[in-house]
Amino acid sequence: MSDAPEPVRRPGSRASNRRSFRQRHPVIVWAVVLVVLLPVVGGASYAWNLKRKLDDLETVKLNPSKEKPDPDEGRALNILLLGSDKGEAGEGQPKNTTIAEDAASGDWPVGKYRSDTLMIVHIPANRKKVYLVSVPRDSLVPIYDEKGESIGSDKINAAFAAGGPVASINTIEKLTGLKMDHLAIIDWEGFRDLSTAVGGVEVTIPRSFYDPQQKIQWDAGTQTLEGNKALQYVRTRYGLIGGDFDRIKRQQNFMRSLMGKMLDSGVTTSPRRLSSTVGALTKNLTVDEGWSGTAMAKLALSLRGIGTEDVTFMTAPVQGTANDPTHGSIVVLQEDKMGELFTALGKSRMGAYLKKYPDEVLPDAEDVS
């Protein structure tokens, strides 16, 4: 691969208006906000148990200067979602500790955790839309530590590995110019457990291919995935034409389908399945300490009118890929377009941005590799 940026394949066409019954179910922001809507859909009898579980979530402390906005006040919100593994402790690092415990220790174990999935959720003040923007893990960007000080450029996932949740927040805020109001970290096993709890998540594989890394043959057609198979689906990048870019689309596609399934009547009217779904999420979730169960519930209530067609999935604008002598294969973000996107988010002008760039949204389910 040459040092010059290479063009990256873009989505072929704008997502159409075709939506299945399941996709048209009311949905909100992925896991965290979505699950607090379940009492609204499934009945008030579940609310107390749900709030208790949300209040028991593990939390991490962000910078003391961070505000703790009340979602009821109608302000726009930005939420940083990170997908992480459970961590592999190196020599001299604490074992059997959680992200929350390591973050609270004051001595973050460098390299113990990886966060290969990073998404920014923007909720406008009027609560009529939700925008989710994925940032490729190999994006070469300036990295900032827990104190907000620059430590040089690296792949964006290095921020979490080197400095933990606060470093990730600082890096994203510097990159986008947007203040992150909240943080949610979900363990990779959450995909597996949630898919099992809801009885499987439906996806469509448009073409058959083999993933040599996971040694899996993916056959074309519609499939219902749960457990380890669901986890393998969202982790796949080898064998996909677009590599990690197609993996991002798979993750977003899985989330879109999972949202519909979590609010399907088969889940919300079944006490056993609903309890399993809530349990699967909360045991794999860490949020910032300023985000209480009550605050999440209020946000969910403010989003009750949102439908699938109101949730836009996107990937940060990419110029291409390149080989960097220090960091290896990297993603080069398109700076001018990045500025356009995040300015549009910050000023609630996404309608104009998407009119200008209609092909940047996630394709329909049957068109995702």
Q: Is 111 exposed, middle or buried (0-12, 13-18, 19+ CB in 10 A)?
A: middle
Q: What global pTM score does this model have?
A: 0.83
Domain ranges of the chain: 31-88+98-185+272-359
Taking the chain (369 residues) in consecutive chunks of 10 residues, what is each chunk's mean pLDDT? 38 37 32 42 50 74 60 79 82 86 88 87 89 93 95 95 94 96 83 84 92 93 93 89 88 82 64 74 82 75 72 92 93 95 93 93 86
Specify the fold of 31-88+98-185+272-359: Nucleotidyltransferase; domain 5 (3.30.420)
With residue 184 as reference, give the H or E element that holds it.
strand 182-187
Amino acid at 31: A
The pLDDT assigned to 44 comes to 46
Q: Under 8 Å CB-to-CB from 212, ≥6 apart: which residues? A: 238, 239
Q: What is the DSSP string of 55-78?
A: HTSEEE---TT-----GGG---EE
The pLDDT assigned to 218 comes to 94
DSSP reduced 3-state for 50: helix
The pLDDT assigned to 263 comes to 60
CA–CA distance, 266 with 179 (Å, rounded to integer): 38
The pLDDT assigned to 26 comes to 28
